[in-house]
Amino acid sequence: MADFLAPPSFPTLLQRFFTEYLREHRAVSPSTVAAYRDTFRLLLLFAQKTIGKSPTKIALADLEATLILAFLDHLERERGNTVRSRNARLSAIRAFLKYAAHQDLTALATIEHALAVPQKRCDKAVLGFLTRPEMEAIIDAPDRRCWAGQRDRALFTMLYNTGARVSEVIDLRICDVVLDVSPVAHLRGKGRKRRSVPIWKATAAMLRQWLRQLPRSGETDPLFPNSSGGRLSRSSVTERLALAVKGASSSLPQLANRPISPHSIRHTTAMHLLQAGVDITVIALWLGHESPTTTHIYLEADLAMKEEALSRLQPITAMPARYRAPDKLMAFLQAL
């Protein structure tokens, strides 16, 4: 009879989850690894205070639904986390538990109960996007007489053209853009997924002009470098965009008090593509969404705008007819 193999310990499982499953099998981004890591650091510290076990002594069976619920409540009440942050932490825990379920069959009952802990509902944030004149004003705001201003104009144009995440644009190298017959940008997205996005003729012309301003650089050098020739940081892009918005607000005062980030430009690209009649599945590919359902937020926002416009067109004297349910059951449902 074969010897019974004891299941791996919780510390072993957690280490394998990060080193083997996330990094090698799933090939997730470093930012995802960092987010999951922070979740378990908080969870293990909370468990140590709650059940009196040090992290290395915790067993998989200790991760009961009651402990996880108490941890999530702790995040909201004592750490001031938003519902979205709470749900993100829960997603990280769920990912580990699903992995652990295949490694330790003795803890299946505990894992099943823990996986039943639901996500908390939260209000969806209203999408912030810019009109075409607002986007054009922001792109034109940087001073084209200086090197940094020319770079910023090309950078913001590229963000708008591609709908890229800021991390994708600052990672672009000179060799990642093709500007000849069919201009295209090759982006490296989440989970190291690559996608190619067409570049408009006007964008290609601006990029050609920008490349002439760069010193003789190697093909693998950043397309949008900082003043030292290195890679721009996310915070630098945010700061440069804030300066451009401030400049554009002199001609468009409505921009002055609006929270506009690089991600706002991504939302703007999606909404403008949708309003131009581009199919939602094409927009999903354009933005690098893993599932088209993620892109439906733009469809919902567009429909909400159209409904609001229609409500303004309704004559004041028009009295909408009240719906009358055909029978008692329908009346009951209507009244719910």
One-letter amino acid at 212 equals R
Q: How far apart are CA 247 and CA 287, in angstroms?
A: 28
With a cut of 90, say whether residue 309 has pLDDT above it: no
Q: How far apart are CA 49 and CA 133, in angstroms?
A: 55
Output the pLDDT for position 286.
81
- pLDDT tens readout for residues 200-232: 999 999 999 999 988 766 889 999 999 888 999
Neighbours of 179 (CB within 10 A): 15
Better-scored residue on pLDDT, 175 or 122: 175
- Could you list the active site residues? 165, 190, 263, 266, 289, 298
Output the pLDDT for position 333.
46
Output the pLDDT for position 103.
87
Which H or E element spans position 177? Answer: strand 177-178
State phi, psi for 196 to the nearest 5 degrees.
-115, 130
State phi, psi for 203 to the nearest 5 degrees.
-65, -45
The answer to whether 47 touches 95, Cβ cutoff 8 Å, is no
One-letter amino acid at 89 equals R
Average pLDDT over residues 17-37: 86
Output the pLDDT for position 40.
93
Better-scored residue on pLDDT, 195 or 289: 195
Neighbours of 254 (CB within 10 A): 9
Question: Could you tell me how far CA 336 lies from the centroid of its own chain?
Answer: 36
Q: Which domains does the chain have, with CATH numbers?
A: 10-115 (1.10.150), 132-312 (1.10.443.10)
Q: How far apart are CA 88 and CA 241, in angstroms?
A: 28
Q: How far apart are CA 166 and CA 262, in angstroms?
A: 6
With a cut of 80, say whether residue 78 has pLDDT above it: yes
Grouping H, G, I as helix, E, B as strand and the rest as coil, residue 195 is strand
With a cut of 70, say whether residue 106 has pLDDT above it: yes
Average pLDDT over residues 266-279: 85
Q: Closest Cα to residue 169, out of 223, 209, 221, 236?
A: 223
Strands (E), 39-155: none
Percentage of residues of the chain with pLDDT beyond 90 = 44
Question: Could you tell me how far CA 58 lies from the centroid of its own chain?
Answer: 33
Confidence band of 64 (pLDDT split at 50, 70, 90): very high
Output the pLDDT for position 1.
42
Distances (CA, A) of 75 to 33, 87, 93, 176, 305: 20, 10, 14, 41, 35
Span of 8-12, 102-106, 150-154, 251-255 with lowest mean pLDDT: 102-106
- pLDDT tens readout for residues 170-193: 999 999 999 988 899 999 876 667
Confidence band of 295 (pLDDT split at 50, 70, 90): low
Output the pLDDT for position 329.
42
Grouping H, G, I as helix, E, B as strand and the rest as coil, residue 201 is helix
The answer to whether 255 touches 208, Cβ cutoff 8 Å, is no
Grouping H, G, I as helix, E, B as strand and the rest as coil, residue 22 is helix
With a cut of 50, say whether residue 336 has pLDDT above it: no
Q: How far apart are CA 158 and CA 241, in angstroms?
A: 13
